[in-house]
A and B are shown apart, each in its own frame.
Chain A
C-alpha cells in the first residue's frame, strides 16, 4: 500500500514539474516581446534603439536589428521607423524612415546607412545602422561603442559587411521576410505516429511485463511399484 502511494506521488510530482516548466516557457514566450522577423527576445536596448510603427494599425512592431527592421516590411507595408545610430546612440539625432507600399518614401538624414553584416555571418548581431560616414567607419572598425549604454550587440562587424542605403537594402530583406512558418503536416503527423507507438508500447508492457514468469515444466515423479517401498 505504501509503495503504491509512493508511485502515485512520484507520478504527480514529475507531472507537476513538467507542466510547470512548460507553463513557465509558455508564459515567457507570451510575456516578453520577440522580434517579429527572426524570433529573438527583445532586450531593453533593442526596445530603445528601434521604434517601428505599422501606420495601418498604429501598432508597434518589435524588431531586434536594422536587418529585421526592414524584413518586417514584408508583413507591414506601411511603416514609420525611428532608429538610434548604432555608434552614437542618444548622442545623435534619430534616423527617421518612412516606407509606404514597401517603398522607401523618406530617410532623414539621407546619409543614413545600413551595415548588413548578416550577409557575411548569417546573424542579426552583425547588423548596424549608422547616421553618417563617420559612424559607418567607426562601426566597421570597432563593432560597437563602449561608451554607448544602449549598444545592442557588443561584438565586431564581420569584414566585408556590405554598407547600403535603406532603399538598397530593403528589397533583399523584404524577400527574406518573416521566417516563422508552422511545421509541415508530415512533420506533425510523424510526431503523432510516434506518440501512438509509445502509447501502444506502454499498454503492451503493462499487460505483458507485469504478468508472472512462466514456471519451468515440472517432471512428474516416476511411479513406484506397490510393495517395493522401504
Chain B
C-alpha cells in the first residue's frame, strides 16, 4: 500500500461505508419484510425505523459518490509515486485487477445511487412515506453493488504499490484506433472532463426522472411532488447537456492542437 493523505481518506471512507452497510442492510430487510403485514401501530414504529435508516443510507451513498470523485483525484496523485507510470493507466496496472473493475464501478455509482436518493427525496416530502417498502427493497438490491464498490476500493488501495509498470504507450500505440483514455482526458484535453461529466450528469438525471415517473404510475400519492421533481431534474439535465455540448468545441480544439509545455 502507498500511504498518502488521499489514499488514507479513500481507505477510511471504505471502512466507514462498510461499517454503515453492516448496520443498514438488516434494518432494510426487516422493514421490507414486515411492512406489508404491519398493523397501524407497527407501521408507525417501522416508519420511525425507516427514517433513521434513510438518514444513514443518505450518508453512505453521498460518501460513496464523493469517494467516486476522489478516486480519480487520488489515482492522478499516485502517478509520480509509481515508477514508469505516466498517467492513471500505470496506476491501474499497479493495482490490478481490482483497479480495472473499480474504474467501471465508479463510472456508474452516481447513476445508480442517485435513483435511490431521488426517490427517497420525494418520499420524505409525501405524507405517510408511501415508498418506504419499495425503497427498502431497492436498497437491498443496491447492496451488492455497494459492497463491491467498497471492497474494490479497499482491495485496490491495499494492493497498489510502487512496482515498475510499463507506460500506456505500450498498449495504446500510434496505430491504436483510440488513444489512452487517461492521457486523453486528464492531460491532452482536460476540457473533456467537463464534457464527460456534463453528459454523464445529463443522462443520470434523465434516468432518475424516468424512474420517478415509473413510481408515480405505481404510487399516485407522490404525483404532485414527483412531477415537480421531474420538471427540475429534466431542466437540469438539459442544462448539463447544453453545457457539455458547448464544452465539446474547445475540447476538440485542445485535442487537435495538443498543449506544448511552456519551459
Interface residues of A, Cβ cutoff 8 Å to B: 3, 7, 10-11, 14-15, 18-19, 21-26, 29-35, 38-41, 43, 60, 62, 118, 121-126, 153-156, 158, 179-184, 186-188, 191-192, 194-196, 198-199, 201-203, 205-206, 209-210, 212-213
Using a CB–CB cutoff of 8 Å, the interface residues on chain B facing chain A are 79-80, 83-84, 86-87, 90, 162-167, 169-170, 173-174, 177-179, 183-184, 186-188, 190-195, 197-199, 201-203, 206, 209-210, 213, 216-217, 223, 227-228, 230-232, 234-245, 247-248, 252, 254-256, 258-259, 261-263
- How far in angstroms is the closest Cβ of chain A from B67? 16
Taking the nearest CB of chain A, how far is it from the CB of B222, in angstroms?
A: 11
The smallest beta-carbon distance between A158 and chain B, in angstroms, is: 8
Question: Is A182 touching B201 in the complex (CB atoms < 8 A)?
Answer: no
A99–B197 Cα gap in the complex (Å)?
A: 46
Asked whether A123 and B210 contact (CB < 8 A) given A199-B245, A205-B238, the answer is: no
Q: Which of A40, A155, A203 contacts B86 (CB 8 A)?
A: A40
CB distance from A52 to the nearest CB of B (A): 12
Whether A202 lies near B197 (C-beta < 8 A) is no
With a cutoff of 8 Å between Cβ atoms, the chain A residues found around residue B206 in the complex are: 201-202, 205, 209
Q: Judging by beta carbons under 8 Å apart, are A209 and B173 in contact? A: no
Q: For B209, give its contact among A30, A122, A153, A209 (CB under 8 Å).
A: A209
Count A/B pairs, Cβ under 8 Å.
187
Can you report 27 residue pairs joining A to B where beta carbons are below 8 Å apart?
A: A3-B228, A18-B197, A18-B198, A22-B191, A23-B190, A26-B254, A29-B190, A31-B262, A33-B261, A38-B86, A40-B86, A121-B164, A122-B166, A125-B84, A126-B164, A156-B164, A180-B258, A182-B255, A194-B199, A195-B199, A195-B248, A198-B203, A198-B241, A199-B242, A202-B202, A202-B240, A210-B234
* B203-A3 in contact (CB<8A): no
Q: Is the CB–CB distance between B234 and A209 below 8 Å?
A: yes
Question: Do A182 and B256 touch (CB < 8 A)?
Answer: yes
Shortest CB-to-CB span from B18 to chain A, Å, is 28
Determine if A121 and B238 form an interchain contact, defined as CB atoms under 8 angstroms apart.
no
> Is A33 within 8 A of B197, CB to CB?
no
Q: Is the interface of B mostly helix, strand, loop or mixed?
A: helix
Interface centre among B193, B201, B244, B256 (most CB of A within 10 A): B193
Q: Is the CB of A205 within 8 A of B209?
A: yes
Q: Which residues on the B side are within 8 Å of A40 (C-beta)?
A: 86, 167
Query: Chain A's nearest CB lies how many Å from the CB of B78?
Result: 13
CB–CB A39/B183 < 8 A: yes
Chain A residue contacts of B243, Cβ below 8 A: 15
B200 to chain A, nearest CB (A): 9
Q: How far is the CB of A42 from chain B (nearest CB, A)?
A: 8
Is A209 a contact of B83 with CB atoms below 8 Å? Answer: no
| B234-A206 in contact (CB<8A) | yes
Residues of B within 8 A of A158 (CB): 164
- The docked-state distance in angstroms from the alpha carbon of A209 to that of B211 is 11
Complex Cα distance A40/B90, Å? 11
State whether A18 touches B193 (Cβ < 8 A).
yes
- Asked if A203 meets B261 with Cβ closer than 8 Å, knowing A126-B164, A195-B244, A209-B213, the reply is no
A41 to chain B, nearest CB (A): 7
User: How far apart are the CA atoms of A202 and B202 in the complex, in Å?
Assistant: 7
User: How far, in whole Å, are A196 and B165 apart by their CA atoms in the complex?
Assistant: 38
Closest A-B pairs by Cβ, 8 of them: A202-B241, A122-B166, A123-B84, A25-B190, A125-B84, A125-B83, A122-B170, A40-B86
Known: A3-B232, A121-B164, A181-B174. A29 touches B198 (CB 8 A): no
In the complex, the answer to whether B245 meets A18 with C-beta atoms within 8 Å is: no
Q: Given A29-B187, A121-B164, A201-B206, list of 5 further CB < 8 A pairs?
A: A7-B236, A25-B193, A198-B202, A201-B203, A205-B237
Known: A25-B186, A121-B166, A195-B199. A126 touches B240 (CB 8 A): no
Q: Which residues of A are found within 8 Å of B195, using beta-carbon distances?
A: 191, 195
Min CB distance B132 to A, Å, is: 22
Q: B187 to chain A: which residues have CB within 8 Å?
A: 25, 29, 34, 39
CB distance from B11 to the nearest CB of A (A): 23
Chain B residue at smallest Cβ distance from A144 = B83
B80 touches A123 (CB 8 A): no
A22 to B186, CA, bound (A): 8
Which residue in B178, B193, B202, B234 is a CB contact (below 8 Å) of A22?
A: B193
Residue of A nearest to B193 (CB): A22
Provided the pairs A123-B84, A154-B83, A202-B240 are in contact, do residues A183 and B259 lie with their beta carbons within 8 angstroms?
A: no
Contact A184 B177 (CB under 8 A): yes
Residues of chain A within 8 A of B210, CB atoms compared: 209
